[in-house]
Amino acid sequence: MALSRGQLTRQKMINLMYLVFIAMLALNVPTEVLDGFDLVNENLQESIKIADERNKQIYTDINASYESNPEKTQDSYSRALNVRSKTDSLFNYIEYLKLEIAKESDGKEADVNNLKSKDNLSASTDIMIAPEGGYQGENLKKLLDSYRETMIAQIPDEAKKNIVRNTLSTEPSRKAKKEGKSWVLSSFENMPSIAAITYLTELQVNMKQAESEVLNDLVKNIDLKDVRVNQLSAFVVPQSKFVMQGTPYRAEIILAAVDTTQRPRIVINGKELPNEKNDLFETTGSRGLNRFSGFIEVVGRDGTPFKREFSEEFTVMEPMATIAPLLMDVVYAGYSNPISISVPGVPHQDVVATVVKGGSLTASGGTWTATPSTSQIGQKFVISVSARMNGTLRPIAQKEFRIRALPDPSPYIEYKDASNNPKVFKRGNLARSILLGTSNLKAAIDDGILNIPFTVTGFSTISLDAMNNRTEEISAGSSFTERQKEQMRGLTRGKELIIGKIKVRGPDGIERELNAMIIRII
């Protein structure tokens, strides 16, 4: 009774739900998102229960076969015991990690299934990544890798191997690789507690499914097909339980074991599903929770109808999109601001974004660049997003950003220390030899969020001699002139050099004058 088709469908559902809630975080609706993760986690727990009951029945069948014919069943029986041991061990370890994250969020009396501090961003980092937590993330990765390869080695079918390989992969995503992040960092660093716990639950579901695949092949080896048919149940396998309004909900209605000589009769909400649908149920629901029920029926060898009932529900959501600046919740006038725009479940090439007001927006591959007009400082920059779905361009969402002028940069002198490491000096004490070895003055915004160089167009240097006579030298560019160098050579320990009248021009084309730098010679 191979369930790889259902496995793959369920995995698509989980991935889409996970992306939807992560995307909603970018729209600043944390309460709804965090409650959404609770819903996903509950669905995953239900999937674990279903898979666990199925696997327990297969273990029971293998045990019964071993007791009746130990010689024939010895190899499969021993391998089944090994699979159960390894699965239970890793499953319980992940359960321990979930509880530790919950305790880090809510305290010692935490309930992992009723988390209070769902939005705690440090708990998963502290437990899974920080040394105080024992680098649990790296340990989990090693155990997952070992478990995955052990399961794959016992599955002969290549397609099923790929399913297990993908669902239990510890390879970082393409985006994480570009950012130089490992699977551990991209999965658990600064992740809300409820999101981290939900992801760990998803891993447990995938383990149970991998366990099922191995057990299915072990059962084939000892010919338990007749016993398994006695455990027939009806299943609804949706492509997703969450769909956008206006798009169809799709689900397959299947039996866990199928007789290829006959097609089952499927009745949903009192109407029979036509044979040409190939067991595919499709409907467009109304916004909110939608329910349907029915039964699936086959004829047994003795001609008696065999019927199993089913019921299912799905949720239709409003269309949504994520529009988020990669820098902060503002855009800067006259500057190319990188913007991330996506619609969950829609390929980036089918996402269309335009500016309603405030400037221009350009796309390059999967990224966007917003350039607000300098005349719109203090106004709103509005982006409208649409998506091509089922051959139709549908409006999805709008997002407003505040337009601000670029902040003033800081002037600085760049030099290398005795170990040839690059250093930046902005004000304070500086050796005269370093000052004399500097060729020009620089300026940039470098506050940990922005990193934008400016062009220095002119500055002056002022010094006082022993009689407090003031000497000022002017540079018409960014370089120190020879007269300014000579002025520096005359400075003795304790004397000050003032660099003032610093004029710069930024990428917005605006020229501005910066505050003076004061350098004390040591």
**254 pLDDT above the threshold of 90:** no
**344 pLDDT above the threshold of 80:** no
Most confident of 29-43, 389-403, 406-420: 406-420
429: tokens are 């004490």
Residues 129 and 188 in one domain: yes
Which residue among 404, 433, 457 closes a domain?
A: 404
pTM of the entire structure? 0.42
Hey, which residues does 315 pair with through a beta bridge?
Answer: 242, 289
Q: How far apart are alpha carbons 212 and 200 in whole angstroms?
A: 19
Lowest-confidence region among 142-146, 250-254, 310-314: 250-254
Domain count, the chain: 4
pLDDT digits (tens, 9 = 90+) for 293-309: 999 887 754 566 778 88
pLDDT digits (tens, 9 = 90+) for 329-340: 789 999 989 888
For 356, 427, 501, 510, 516, the CA distances from 452, given in Å and listed in that order, are 27, 20, 21, 14, 20
For 211, 215, 232, 280, the CA distances from 1, given in Å and listed in that order, are 13, 9, 10, 20
Residues 221 and 281 in one domain: no
Residues 400 and 477 in one domain: no
CATH number at residue 350: 2.60.40.10
Q: How far apart are alpha carbons 194 and 33 in whole angstroms?
A: 10
For 44, 45, 188, the CA distances from 199, given in Å and listed in that order, are 10, 12, 9
Which residue among 166, 196, 231 closes a domain?
A: 231
For 37, 41, 118, 138, the CA distances from 193, given in Å and listed in that order, are 10, 12, 5, 18
CA 369, 375, 377, 380 torsion: positive or negative?
A: negative
Predicted pLDDT at 237: 65
Predicted pLDDT at 341: 87
Residues 278 and 130 in one domain: no
Residues 37 and 165 in one domain: yes
Residues 224 and 240 in one domain: no
pLDDT digits (tens, 9 = 90+) for 461-505: 999 887 778 899 999 999 999 999 999 998 989 999 999 999 999
Q: How far apart are alpha carbons 293 and 284 in whole angstroms?
A: 15
Helices 193-221 & 136-152 angle (0-180, nearest 10):
20
What residue numbers bound the domain in which 77 lies?
4-231
**170 pLDDT above the threshold of 80:** yes
CATH number at residue 244: 2.60.40
Residues 330 and 308 in one domain: no
Predicted pLDDT at 225: 37
Residues 38 and 129 in one domain: yes
Residue 276 pLDDT grade (very low, low, confident, very high; cuts 50, 70, 90): confident
* DSSP element (H, E) containing 455: strand 451-464
Exposure on the CB side of residue 345, measured as CA atoms within 13 A:
23
Residues 209 and 271 in one domain: no
Residue 12 pLDDT grade (very low, low, confident, very high; cuts 50, 70, 90): low
Q: How far apart are alpha carbons 59 and 388 in whole angstroms?
A: 48
**65 pLDDT above the threshold of 90:** no
Long-range contacts of 59-68 (CB under 8 A, 24+ apart): 59/84, 59/215, 61/219, 61/224, 61/227, 61/228, 62/215, 62/218, 62/219, 62/222, 62/224, 64/227, 65/222, 65/224, 65/227
146: tokens are 């070992």
Residue linked to tokens 């995995």: 11
Instruction: Give the count of beta carbons closer than 10 Å to the beta carbon of residue 180.
Output: 8
Which residue among 196, 216, 231 closes a domain?
A: 231
For 222, 229, 257, 269, 316, the CA distances from 311, given in Å and listed in that order, are 34, 21, 19, 10, 17
Residues 306 and 221 in one domain: no
Residues 311 and 337 in one domain: no
Mean pLDDT score, 363-368: 82
The candidate with the shortest Cα–Cα distance to 401, out of 328, 451, 340, 336, is 328
Predicted pLDDT at 284: 76
Residues 248 and 161 in one domain: no
* DSSP element (H, E) containing 303: none
Q: How far apart are alpha carbons 501 and 165 in whole angstroms?
A: 63
Query: How remote is the C-alpha of 67 from its chain's centroid?
Result: 48
Q: How many helical (H) and strand (E) elements, i.e. helices and strands, does the chain have?
A: 12, 25
The candidate with the shortest Cα–Cα distance to 234, out of 274, 266, 260, is 266
For 144, 180, 224, the CA distances from 186, given in Å and listed in that order, are 16, 10, 43
pLDDT digits (tens, 9 = 90+) for 199-241: 999 999 999 999 999 998 888 777 533 433 445 666 666 655 5
Q: What single-letter DSSP state applies at residue 478?
A: S
Predicted pLDDT at 176: 84
220: tokens are 């084939």
Q: Are 170 and 182 in contact (CB under 8 A)?
A: no
Predicted pLDDT at 83: 94
Lowest-confidence region among 27-31, 67-71, 462-466: 27-31
